Amino acid sequence: MEKYLLEIDNVNKSFSGNKVLDNVSLRVKPGSIHALMGENGAGKSTLMKCLFGIYTQDEGRFHLEGKEINFTDPKHALENGVSMVHQELNQVLARTVTDNVWLGRYPRKGLFVDEQKMLEDTIGLFKRIGVEIDPTKKLEDLSVSQRQMVEIVKAVSYNAKVIVLDEPTSSLTENEVKKLFEIMRTLKKQGMGLIYISHKMEEIFDISDEVTILRDGHYIGSKDTKDLTMDTIINMMVGRDLENRFPVKKHKLGDTVLEVKNLTTLYEPKVQNVSFKLRRGEILGLSGLVGSLRTELLEAIFGARTVESGEIVLNGEIIKNSSTVEAIKHKFALIT
Ligand SMILES: Nc1ncnc2c1ncn2[C@@H]1O[C@H](COP(=O)(O)OP(=O)(O)OP(=O)(O)O)[C@@H](O)[C@H]1O
Ligand SMILES: [Mg+2]
């Protein structure tokens, strides 16, 4: 019989009578990356939060290296070899990398914090995952990707056996994703089990050894990634074949309703020289990385941010939305 690092058996969980996990099981082998997939709301994060001691399951059992575990809180989980890197990183930005790793458990030398040991240990940890980050830097001076690596180092510092990564790549650039995957492979070689939550198919095939799929809180199945195709995964996730991943667009687009010309905002962070046209009946995608000021652009158009130069043309007429009230009068709406 195969020996598992982590066994999750028959977990049930309801929130105020609403069952969101129905008899879910998952088994992670040592030295492997296990992808957890399912549509939005399928219960992936909830299952992981039950494991990590954030929620308590109504029924079900967890075993780590054959021993039953039932963590009462995240600290309990961390100290016993289970770590979780959340999508919303909960870090102290004004403090250094070293402080963030050792917060609340500084090594001591007599009465004092052993700064030297702390620094050396941190450097050692980064070496172990093959990343170079200056441990004396403040977190606010690091990129999202580097901050994520600090979280991973923290997990490793607790001697994690299992690390859960909940949608870690949603705000990373392509190169940052490559780096993250390198780190994940390094940890896998060191015998850890990683649970990886992602909606990105290409990533699943690139990085995972096995996949477990949930649908509406139900356990659908676990398979070796090499035995799966994109279509089978989608089929398991949605419960039917999808003929078209993207429905065919049948309608015709009308005239230009809105034109934005060289829009630049006054205050930092400055939106600069943005132009686009929006036609009647059109859904226009606005894409860019975190920090590329997509939200700020929409706020500027909606009158919530001061425009320095550029034009907004509505149905052929130049207008000014210098306040949200004015924007609403011009029949704009912003759903945040
Ligand atoms: N604290 C909570 N209280 C009530 N309902 C919750 C709570 N947390 C999650 N849910 C519900 O449980 C279900 C599963 O949510 P969960 O966040 O686990 O899904 P998910 O698979 O992680 O989805 P996503 O891919 O969007 O992150 C959803 O219907 C959600 O609304
Ligand atoms: Mg989730």
CATH class (in words) of the domain with range 6-238: alpha beta
- Whether 6-238 shares its CATH topology with 256-329 is answered yes
Q: What is the pLDDT of residue 242?
A: 64
With the most atoms of ligand 1 within 8 angstroms of its CB, the residue from 44, 50, 167 to mutate is 44
- CA dist 101 and 103 (Å) reads 6
Q: What is the pLDDT of residue 2?
A: 63
Q: What angle do CA 117, 91, 158 make, to 5 degrees?
A: 45
Task: Find the 200 Cα to ligand 1 centroid distance in Å.
Answer: 19
Q: What is the pLDDT of residue 243?
A: 65
The string of pLDDT tens digits covering residues 146-185 is: 999 999 999 889 999 999 999 888 777 788 888 899 999 9
Task: Verify whether ligand 1 is closer than 6 Å to residue 276 (CB atom).
Answer: no
The string of pLDDT tens digits covering residues 283-321 is: 999 998 878 899 999 999 999 999 999 999 999 999 999
Measured by CA distance, the residue closest to atom 18 of ligand 1 is 43
The string of pLDDT tens digits covering residues 69-103 is: 999 999 999 999 999 998 777 888 999 999 999 98
Q: Per CATH, which fold does 256-329 belong to?
A: Rossmann fold (3.40.50)
The separation between CA 143 and the C-alpha centre of its own chain, rounded to angstroms, equals: 15
- Note the residue count of the chain: 336
- CA dist 238 and 38 (Å) reads 8
Average pLDDT of span 14-34 = 97
Measured by CA distance, the residue closest to atom 13 of ligand 1 is 41
Q: What is the pLDDT of residue 215?
A: 95
Q: Which residues pair with 224 in a beta bridge?
A: 210
User: What is the DSSP annotation of 25-85?
Assistant: EEEE-TTEEEEEE-STTSSHHHHHHHHTTSS--SEEEEEETTEEE--SSHHHHHHTTEEEE
The string of pLDDT tens digits covering residues 180-232 is: 999 999 999 999 999 999 989 999 999 999 999 999 999 999 999 999 999 99
Decide if pLDDT at 104 tops 90: no
* Residue boundaries of the structural domains of the chain: 6-238, 256-329
With the most atoms of ligand 1 within 8 angstroms of its CB, the residue from 24, 46, 215 to mutate is 46
Q: What is the mean pLDDT of the chain?
A: 92
- SS3 label, residue 110: coil
Atom of ligand 1 nearest to the CA of 199: 25
Q: What is the pLDDT of residue 192?
A: 96
Q: Answer whether 193's CB lies under 8 Å from 29's CB.
A: yes
Q: 293 in the Ramachandran plot: left (φ > 0), alpha (ψ -120 to 50) or beta?
A: left
Question: Parallel, antiparallel, or unpaired for β 210-215 and 32-37?
Answer: parallel
Task: Verify whether ligand 1 is closer than 6 Å to residue 41 (CB atom).
Answer: yes
pTM here is 0.76
